[in-house]
Amino acid sequence: MLFLRSRRAVLLLLALLGAGVVGRIWGAHGYRVGQQVPTILPWSMFLPLCCAYAIGVSAASPLPDGELLGRRCIRGYVRGYLVVATVLAVVAIAWAMSRTPPPISAPAALRDLAGMLGLSLVSIAVAGASSGWVLPGGLMFCAIILRMGDVDFLPVTWLVRDDSDTVSRIIAAGLFVAGGVATHWWPRHGQLT
């Protein structure tokens, strides 16, 4: 219970619930990107990024030095917490985007959630919770602006590809695994909070 309180689990739960409701209401609305091949990108494509970073920030220790020096190793608790939070986020996003029409809908959002969560965990492990947003956030912003300019640069634009794109799924899965590995170094001594 103390662990859940230290991670502000209730706030995270409310945030995921809020993301689900907002996505459910606004999921079908979008904005037009691209000149030569115009696509409607749903506003709810920001939800996977927000949920993923919220999970990462919530799981990161507010007192890394204290937990590092503690008698009990809490790495297992952190991983369990991440698994439960991820399952809840998957449910929230799948529900939120169930009414969003293809080509960019729930499967793409879940793929992005996996990739963004992995990237967020790596980024937080390196730069800390309040500074780690630059990498996942920057990747999402760049993906959207490149899509606006009809540029398809796979390492970036996999985030805004269609539901059925296999290469994007592989990239997202790779990032997800990398994020899981990165939690091995949580909490890290001297980690910025």
Partner 1 sequence: MNAFVVQLRRGPGLWITPAMVLAGAALALSQLQALTVWSESSSAAANSPYVMGAFVAGGGSWLSVQARRRGTLQVDQLSARGPAAAAAVDMGALAVWALVAYGLVAAIVLVPTAFRATWGGPAWLWLAESGVGLVAFVPLGWGLGRLAPSRFTPFAVAVLAFATAVFWDSSPRTYWWWHRLFPALQWIQRPFDEPRALPLVGQILWYLGIGAAVLAIVAVTGRDSARRTRALAAVACLLVAGGAGIAASTESGHVVFAELGVHREMVCAGDEPVVCVHPAYRDTLPQVQERFTPIVQRLAGTPFAVHRAVQQPREDLAYLTPGATGFGLDWATSTYVDIAAEDLVRNALYGTAACDLSSADLSIGLDPYRVVEVWAFGEGQVLDPHAKQALTWLSGLDGPGARTWLTSHAGQIRACTLAYSDFS
Q: Which residues bind partner 1 (CB under 8 A)?
A: 31-32, 43, 46, 49-50, 53-54, 57, 60, 62, 127, 129-131, 133-135, 137-138, 140-142, 144-146, 148-151, 156, 193
By C-beta, is 61 or 105 nearer to partner 1?
A: 61
Q: Least distance (Å) from partner 1 to the CB of residue 49?
A: 7
By C-beta, is 150 or 162 nearer to partner 1?
A: 150
By C-beta, is 141 or 185 nearer to partner 1?
A: 141
By C-beta, is 4 or 148 nearer to partner 1?
A: 148
Q: Least distance (Å) from partner 1 to the CB of residue 71?
A: 26
Q: Is 163 helix (H, G, I), strand (E, B) or coil?
A: coil
Q: Least distance (Å) from partner 1 to the CB of residue 53?
A: 5
- Compute CA distances 68 → 58, 64, 72, 122, 181, whole Å: 17, 6, 9, 19, 18
Report whether 106 contacts 98 (CB < 8 A).
Answer: yes
Closest CA relative to residue 165, chosen from 124, 104, 123, 91:
104
Structure tokens at 69: 């020096």
Q: Least distance (Å) from partner 1 to the CB of residue 177?
A: 23
